[in-house]
């Protein structure tokens, strides 16, 4: 049990990486608070955990709202007495995200409100809880595009993930002496609803796959395993990192010719 006696709050836990991580963390002994703007989806995740013999609580949270972020942290401490793992995973990729000319201010603002402000607010209320628990691990979902950019224009998303990466590094430095580790998880292209809604033809999928050295999309469950490592004591000397789980795509684009 790699997370025995740990309490993990996971945002965006109703689907994708969040759901897979919630299920895995619970199987490894953590009590899980599954937070999602879609309460029904969060409840499904929590129900699946309880059905497998684990402990889980579902909460509704819009991570762009301070009151919701404060409430989800308070719910974790009230239900389980502490918070030791905070996984700021919730995020969006807007269908109308494009280049600097075509992307509207509304799309930009919404993307940053959830992807960046959501991480900030999670930490704003989560860090004091981790301090009260004597320390812990914060994991922020960034992306490989924060390092290499995206071939298909998605400026708001890419910029937001770059901000998450920078925020993670600074938080790691600030809180390193408090036994609080902060790392950015950077997934590559995944077979999740978030990406597949764009790659909705075989031709589009193949255009993306040709850039991935491993020749396939990653799975949410594989990212969950990386998150488990960052949440556990096995990564006790890891902080401020950009933890790439991308099938080699970043290496392919950053290797000198």
Give the pLDDT score at 113: 98
Within 133-182, residue ranges assigned H as helices are 145-148, 155-175
To the question of pTM greater than 0.85 for the whole model, the response is yes
Cβ contact 19:46 at 8 Å = no
Q: In what order do the strands lie in the sheet with 31-36?
A: 55-60, 31-36, 7-11, 85-88, 136-141, 180-187, 242-245
Closest Cα to residue 141, out of 29, 4, 245? 245
Summarize pLDDT for 69-83 with one digit per residue, the tens: 999 999 999 999 999
The residue among 202, 191, 157 whose CA lies nearest residue 15 is: 191
More confident call, 188 vs 47: 47
Q: According to the model, what pLDDT value does residue 199 have?
A: 67
Mean pLDDT value of segment 167-192 = 95
pLDDT per position as a tens digit, 125-140: 999 999 999 999 999 9
Name the catalytic one among 80, 157, 198, 253.
Answer: 157
Instruction: Please give the domain boundaries of the chain with CATH numbers for all domains.
Output: 7-254 (3.40.50.720)
Phi, psi at 64, each rounded to 5°: -85, -5
Query: What's the angle, vertex CA 70, arms to CA 43 and CA 108, rounded to 5?
Result: 85
Average pLDDT score over residue span 90-119: 96
Say how many Å lie between the first and final Cα of the chain, rounded.
Answer: 44
Model pLDDT, residue 149: 85
157 is catalytic: yes
pLDDT for res 191: 81
Q: Look at strands 242-245 and 85-88 and give their pairing.
A: unpaired
């Amino acid at each position: 049990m790699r997370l025995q006696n740990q309490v993990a709050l996971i945002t965006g836990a109703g689907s994708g990486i969040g759901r897979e991580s919630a299920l895995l963390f619970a199987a490894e002994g953590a009590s899980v608070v599954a937070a999602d703007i879609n309460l029904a989806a969060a409840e499904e995740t929590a129900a699946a955990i309880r059905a497998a013999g684990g402990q889980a609580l579902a909460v509704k949270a819009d991570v762009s709202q301070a009151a919701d972020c404060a409430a989800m942290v308070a719910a974790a401490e009230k239900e389980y007495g502490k918070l030791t793992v905070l996984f700021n995973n919730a995020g969006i990729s807007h269908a109308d995200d494009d280049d600097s000319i075509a992307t509207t201010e509304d799309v930009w603002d919404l993307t940053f409100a959830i992807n960046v402000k959501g991480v900030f607010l999670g930490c704003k209320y989560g860090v004091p809880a981790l301090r009260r628990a004597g320390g812990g691990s914060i994991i922020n979902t960034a992306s490989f595009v924060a390092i290499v950019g995206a071939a298909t224009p998605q400026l708001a998303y890419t910029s937001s993930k770059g901000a998450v990466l920078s925020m993670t590094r600074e938080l790691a430095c600030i809180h390193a002496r408090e036994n609080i580790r902060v790392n950015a998880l950077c997934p590559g292209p995944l077979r999740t609803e978030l990406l597949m809604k764009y790659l909705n033809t075989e031709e589009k999928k193949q255009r993306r796959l040709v850039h991935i050295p491993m020749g396939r999309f990653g799975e949410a469950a594989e990212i969950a395993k990386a998150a488990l490592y960052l949440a556990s004591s096995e990564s006790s000397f890891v902080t401020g990192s950009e933890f790439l789980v991308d099938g080699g795509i970043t290496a392919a684009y950053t290797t000198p010719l």
